[in-house]
Amino acid sequence: MPKPDQRLVTSIVVFEELGRIPDAVRREKSIALVRPLDQLNYTVEIAEIAEVYVRYKLMPAEAIGDADHLAPASFYNCDMLVTWNCRHLANANKAGHIRRVNALLGLRTPMLVTPLELLEKDYEDKS
């Protein structure tokens, strides 16, 4: 549950990814979780940012979906991108490279965290 000063958002990229879950029940439950969230527009500018990420080797071309998650979060100046993707996104070894490329583009880099990090943070705040 978000805190009062937080706005949770998603993008069409998330819906497309969830739509590929083979198990119909799991797919519908997953989509139902994100359906109430505000959806960020995926624009031509965001597609161009994703292409730059691939060109600068933040993500390989076959992982364009990863770039498609980071690009709107950066473009819309999101504070945080929550992901289970520790290979190309929530990866301390890539964080500096991501920040440098975003700086070249004039973008701020969101914090890249896993859901587990947020759960631990909530747990720590309650003690």
Confidence at residue 64, expressed as pLDDT on a 0 to 100 scale: 80
Confidence at residue 5, expressed as pLDDT on a 0 to 100 scale: 77
**What residue type is assigned to position 39 of the chain?**
Q
Hey, where are the domains in the chain? 42-126
Name the nearest CA neighbour of 57 among 72, 67, 44. Answer: 67
Sign of the torsion angle spanned by Cα atoms 55, 102, 70, 122: positive
Confidence at residue 16, expressed as pLDDT on a 0 to 100 scale: 93
Which pTM was predicted? 0.85
Confidence at residue 60, expressed as pLDDT on a 0 to 100 scale: 85
- What is the arithmetic mean of pLDDT over 11-24? 94
Strand pairing class (111-113; 38-40): unpaired
Confidence at residue 127, expressed as pLDDT on a 0 to 100 scale: 52
Contact criterion met (CB below 8 Å) for 83 and 70: no
- Greater model confidence, 97 or 126: 97
- At 26-67, the pLDDT tens digits run 999 999 999 999 999 999 999 999 999 999 999 888 878 899
- At 73-98, the pLDDT tens digits run 999 999 999 998 888 899 999 999 99
Whether residue 120 is predicted with pLDDT greater than 70 in this model: the reply is no
